[in-house]
Amino acid sequence: MMASAHGKLIADKNGCIRLGDEKGPLIIWPYGSKLVNLGHGKFKITNGFTNQSAVIGEQISLGGGLYEVKSTQVTPSISKACADYGYWLAGPMEVK
């Protein structure tokens, strides 16, 4: 069964995409997800699971699950700067 989390999609000072705030979980997006620079400091992420998009700063609901342990299955590997507050393995996304 998939869990659901709600919050603001943010990029922290290290460029890590998190849910909620600077101490929220790092979001690990599904294969095929894309990050696009829209210019003027705006970025859009498209979820490879559902092909839905959200702009950094928007409120979202995100299916998936929270994990405390660093996954060894993630490619490329996760930066140490992003590895402090757990991981959200992303499933379906909805923009609020």
The tens digit of pLDDT for each residue in 18-66 reads 999 999 999 999 999 999 999 999 999 999 989 999 999 999 999 999 8
**86 contacts: CB under 8 Å, gap ≥ 6:** 25, 26, 66, 67, 68
What is the pLDDT, as a whole number, of residue 46?
97
Tens of pLDDT, residue by residue over 5-21, are: 999 999 999 999 999 99
DSSP state of 57: T
Say how far apart CA 70 and CA 46 lie, in whole Å. Answer: 23
| pLDDT at position 77 over 80 | no
| pTM of the model as a whole | 0.86
Going from the C-alpha of 5 to that of each of 23, 45, 46, 90, 94, the distances in angstroms are 14, 17, 17, 10, 10
| pLDDT at position 79 over 90 | no
